[in-house]
Amino acid sequence: MGKLLWRTRGEHNGVPPHAKAPGGSHPSPTRATRTMGLRLAVAAIARVGLAVVYAPLKLLPTRRKVVMMSREHPTLPKDFAAIRESLERLDPAVEVVTLVRMVPPGYVAKLGYALHMIKQLYHVATARVLILDTYAIVASVLKHKDSLTIMQIWHALGAFKKFGLSILGQAEGRDERLAAAMRMHQGYDIVLASGEAAREPFAEALGTSLDRVVVAPLPRVDKLRDPGESRRIRDRIYSEYPHLRDARIAVYAPTFHIDGSVSVDVGELTAALEARGIHAVVKLHPLMSANFEEGIDTASGFSTQELLHVADLFITDYSSVLFEASVLGVPSYFLAPDLEDYLASRDFYLDYRTELPGPIVESIPELVDEIARGSSSSEEVAEFAASWVRAPGDTPPEEGETPCADQIARLALDAIG
């Protein structure tokens, strides 16, 4: 597994000042100091207000309805779309409702989101199953009907860096007091994990017992393993960006930092790879904005996961897209100049220094040298994927088959009864 190529760090081991992603990021950490008392008071008022509005709605009859809710995405996530398609195919009589809206910045805009939450309350009150891909206020802070099953599918494969309840109080985590006030990750009946190795981390991060964690990978794994889908994605990418067709491509996907930082100089990385005949495509986390200088290829319009279908190698520091790359068998390299700082602020569910499927380096020259040596292989990443992502069945699906989406849909239908 991971080949540690770490040197003793110098006096400065933080993020270099030039490595800020242009534009920074939109969200801010849910942490407060002097305003904590006010935030806790607002949280208490919100809980009471939601309960008052929810009480009469709970008197409405429950229907054979599945609600999928997310504040992680601005538009319907593809995992939700795939689950909805499977539900409608397996049981056309089931009603499926999707409620996808990010919490906007600014107090006035948040009033609009409050109205959206009333819509959420109505649909949850009349549903049999609620599917989430992140924390949802109305799911965790309220007392629901016994007939409602809440299923947390989370929005990332595997269990790489720690998240959720595992990092409360840490620099990259939420404030413990506010998390408790908002009953963070309480009330889940079923939690899905991508593989056996991810079950215990998901139980810890999402505050549930291990017996409630079920191995069922996200529907995106169907798309990754479908040869027809892969071919169609490649054709679309090459049609939009013909310069990628004959290039040796490295997809660089740094992890999301709350402060919007990237730990390396992207221009320097791009130039160093280009000098070795490798074309870099830089894909930031969707919550980070990027206005890089001219010459930085971001392949706008395609997701990181889609770009992996044309990638010859994958470079990251701590992004969980590692698991998607591993499912596809894309050799992976880990450029992490700020590892010590990141370990102190976030930490991992696995041993970063020994368990990763590729070399770990702290500088761009070291990275380029390891790539030239071919220090990561498809076989190594496939072995890593087998531990963390277990799709249904023993063989890859035929074109058009969706075993992962169908498995999740059947769990929801079983809960409806």
In 88-189, DSSP assigns E strands to 95-100, 129-132, 149-152
Is 251 found in the same domain as 317? Answer: yes
Q: Which of 46, 47, 15 is nearest to 171 (CA)?
A: 15
User: How remote is the C-alpha of 136 from its chain's centroid?
Assistant: 15
pTM of the model: 0.86
Q: Distances from the Cα of 145 to the Cαs of 125, 150, 165, in angstroms? A: 8, 11, 25
Is 327 found in the same domain as 270? Answer: yes
- Listed range (78-82, 264-268, 331-335) with the worst mean pLDDT: 264-268
Is 236 found in the same domain as 113? Answer: no
DSSP string, 319-331: -TTHHHHHHHT--
Q: What average pLDDT does the segment 255-284 reach?
A: 88
Cα(268)–Cα(262) distance, integer angstroms: 13
Is 375 found in the same domain as 230? Answer: yes
Length of the chain: 417
Cα(366)–Cα(356) distance, integer angstroms: 17
Is 291 found in the same domain as 372? Answer: yes
Is 200 found in the same domain as 304? Answer: no
Query: How would residue 13 be classed by pLDDT, with cut points 50, 70 and 90?
Result: very low
Cα(357)–Cα(326) distance, integer angstroms: 8
Q: How many domains does the chain have?
A: 2
- Is a pLDDT exceeding 80 seen at residue 190? yes
Is 135 found in the same domain as 14? Answer: no
For residue range 210-223, list pLDDT tens digits in order: 999 999 999 999 99
pLDDT of residue 26: 42
Three-class secondary structure of residue 151 per DSSP: strand
Considering the domain boundaries, does residue 49 fall inside one?
no
CATH code of residue 238: 3.40.50.12580
Query: How would residue 82 be classed by pLDDT, with cut points 50, 70 and 90?
Result: very high
pLDDT of residue 255: 86
Is 179 found in the same domain as 263? Answer: no
pLDDT of residue 105: 81
Question: Mean pLDDT of all residues in the chain?
Answer: 89
Is 275 found in the same domain as 204? Answer: no
CATH code of residue 162: 3.40.50.11820
Considering the domain boundaries, does residue 158 fall inside one?
yes
Q: Distances from the Cα of 378 to the Cαs of 13, 32, 62, 105, in angstroms? A: 31, 45, 49, 42
Cα(186)–Cα(348) distance, integer angstroms: 22
Is 158 found in the same domain as 70? Answer: yes
